[in-house]
């Protein structure tokens, strides 16, 4: 019964990333895309929150990372980069998609 | 339950009036009521503000759609999940919210509360039971 | 898999419609079905034919129109949201006494029931907003 959570706003602009992390059940996945990819940069104040969410698989959209100049070396360990085709696959593989706008 | 009926969840995380999302999401719920799916609404984060009593928009001259929540029961929309933690973070309690009711025809038209106060942990479980999730 | 897409924001102001477009395109390329793309809130503004974006930038509206044409997509603009924001087709023009229509090719104006029905008929609803 797993969910793909999608989140697209910067964690410093609004609380969508925080709320998503707080509501994502173990076994679900979170895809960070658009401005939410800023949440995947290591060493940021939100890193503990991101890595501390139990049992949730984390993904980032490669095209949005690249657009924003976030290179692979800057990413928190364990975040898997996907492309749009990967985004589609994630949506298909999970039972529902919940958007955190 | 017929296998054709889906569980529809309408997510409300935004305050009313400052943006149109709360009102336009309610419009979807009202139209959606005619489609006989298993409907739930979730109010958390700033969405809890949508249910505050005594909203009066006469000064800002915008539509006061808050009375519409009271009509949801008549549309068979009877499951309004409100998150406890979101209320507490905002200094609110259930008493601050509108008293929303529905009449249960299977229970001699007994009046029941539409608002279901849930913890974050309980809301997480509710969200995992849904088929289609609308976000606004 | 049968997807429906909900787009809540207009062109250029937010990336939502771009992300929705890229997702839709990728889904189609991977052999999935797109049951409907439904434009709501400011998303109805993706359906105007009157935009003139700069030459060196993507043409959001035309891109949707072309994708719709290529894949016979059903792209629906919500009538209530469209009326509020001035997206008008021939029928709305007559009904509401307007002197112009501006709906872009490949988009049609219809009711919120189309969004609900998309939820009923699709395997997944993917929402793009802000």
Segments making up each domain of chain B, as ranges: 7-135
Q: What is the mean pLDDT of residues A79-99?
A: 98
Structure confidence at residue C42 (pLDDT): 98
Structure confidence at residue A54 (pLDDT): 87
Structure confidence at residue B4 (pLDDT): 81
Q: In this predicted model, what pLDDT tens digit does every residue of B25-62 receive, in sequence order?
A: 999 999 999 999 999 999 999 999 999 999 999 999 99
Taking the alpha carbons at both ends of chain B, their separation in whole angstroms is: 28
Q: What average pLDDT is seen over chain C?
A: 98
Domain CATH for C58:
3.40.1260.10
Q: What is the mean pLDDT of residues A58-63?
A: 98
Q: What is the mean pLDDT of residues C9-37?
A: 98
- Please determine, for residue A1, whether its predicted confidence score (pLDDT) is greater than 70: no
The verdict on whether C78 is a catalytic residue reads yes
SS (H, E, C) chain A: CCEEEEECCCCCCCCHHHHHHHHCCCCCEEEECHHHHHHHECCCCCHHHHHCCCCCEEEEEHHHHHHCCCCHHHECCCCEEECHHHHHHHHHHCCEEEEEC
pTM beyond 0.95: the answer is yes
Q: What is the DSSP letter of B132?
A: E
* Three-state DSSP state, C118: helix
Structure confidence at residue B58 (pLDDT): 98
Please give the structure tokens belonging to residue B105. Answer: 């025809």
- Partners of residue A32 in chain C, C-beta under 8 Å: none
C60, C68, C78, C103: the active-site residue: C78
**Mind telling me how many Å the CA of B69 is from chain A's nearest CA?**
23
Please tell me the distance from the alpha carbon of residue C2 to that of residue B88, in angstroms, as a whole number: 40
Contacts of A48 (CB under 8 A, 6+ apart): none
**Looking at the complex, does the CB of residue C130 fall below 8 Å from at least one CB of chain A?**
yes
Interface touch B21/C41, C-beta < 8 Å:
yes
Q: What is the mean pLDDT of residues A6-34?
A: 97
- Please determine, for residue C6, whether its predicted confidence score (pLDDT) is greater than 60: yes
Q: In this predicted model, what pLDDT tens digit does every residue of B53-106 receive, in sequence order?
A: 999 999 999 999 999 999 999 999 999 999 999 999 999 999 999 999 999 999
Structure confidence at residue B26 (pLDDT): 98
Residue B3 pLDDT class (50, 70, 90 cuts) = low
Counting the structural domains of chain C, the total is 1
Q: Name which CATH class applies to A3-100.
A: alpha beta
Residue B1 pLDDT class (50, 70, 90 cuts) = very low
Domain span at residue C67 reads 2-128
- Partners of residue A96 in chain B, C-beta under 8 Å: 130-133
CATH of B7-135, one of 2.50.20.10, 3.40.50.1240, 3.40.640.10, 3.40.1260.10: 3.40.1260.10
Q: In this predicted model, what pLDDT tens digit does every residue of C89-111 receive, in sequence order?
A: 999 999 999 999 999 999 999 99
**Looking at the complex, does the CB of residue C128 fall below 8 Å from at least one CB of chain B?**
no
């Amino acid at each position: 019964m797993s969910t793909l959570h999608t989140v697209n706003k910067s964690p410093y602009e609004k609380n969508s990333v925080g709320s998503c992390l707080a509501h994502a059940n173990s076994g679900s996945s979170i895809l960070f895309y658009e401005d939410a990819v800023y949440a995947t940069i290591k060493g940021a104040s939100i890193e503990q929150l991101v890595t501390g969410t139990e049992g949730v698989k984390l993904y980032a959209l490669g095209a949005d990372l690249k657009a924003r100049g976030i290179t692979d070396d800057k990413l928190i360990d364990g975040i898997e980069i996907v492309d749009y085709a990967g985004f589609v696959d994630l949506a298909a593989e999970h039972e529902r998609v919940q958007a955190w706008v | 339950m017929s296998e054709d009926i889906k569980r529809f969840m309408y997510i409300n995380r935004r305050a009313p009036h400052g943006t149109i999302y709360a009102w336009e999401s309610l419009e979807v719920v009202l139209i959606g009521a005619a489609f006989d799916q298993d409907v739930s609404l979730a109010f958390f984060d700033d969405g809890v503000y949508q249910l505050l009593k005594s909203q009066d928009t006469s000064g800002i001259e915008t539509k006061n759609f808050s009375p519409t929540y009271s009509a949801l029961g008549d549309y068979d929309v009877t499951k309004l999940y409100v998150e406890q933690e979101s209320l507490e973070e905002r200094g609110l309690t259930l008493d601050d919210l509108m008293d929303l009711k529905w009449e249960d025809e299977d229970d001699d038209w007994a009046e029941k509360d539409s608002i279901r106060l849930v913890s974050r942990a309980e809301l997480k479980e509710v969200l995992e039971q849904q088929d289609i999730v609308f976000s606004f | 898999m049968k997807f429906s897409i909900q787009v809540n924001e207009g062109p250029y102001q937010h990336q939502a419609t771009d992300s929705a477009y890229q997702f839709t395109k990728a889904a189609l390329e991977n052999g999935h079905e797109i049951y409907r793309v439904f434009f709501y809130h400011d998303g109805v503004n993706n359906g105007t034919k009157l935009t003139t974006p700069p030459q060196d930038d993507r043409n959001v509206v035309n891109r949707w129109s072309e994708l719709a044409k290529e894949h016979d997509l059903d792209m629906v603009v919500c009538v209530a949201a469209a009326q509020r924001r001035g997206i008008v087709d021939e029928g709305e023009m007559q009904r509401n006494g307007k002197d112009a229509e501006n709906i872009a090719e490949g988009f049609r104006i219809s009711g919120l029931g189309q969004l609900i029905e998309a939820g009923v008929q699709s395997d997944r609803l993917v929402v793009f907003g802000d």
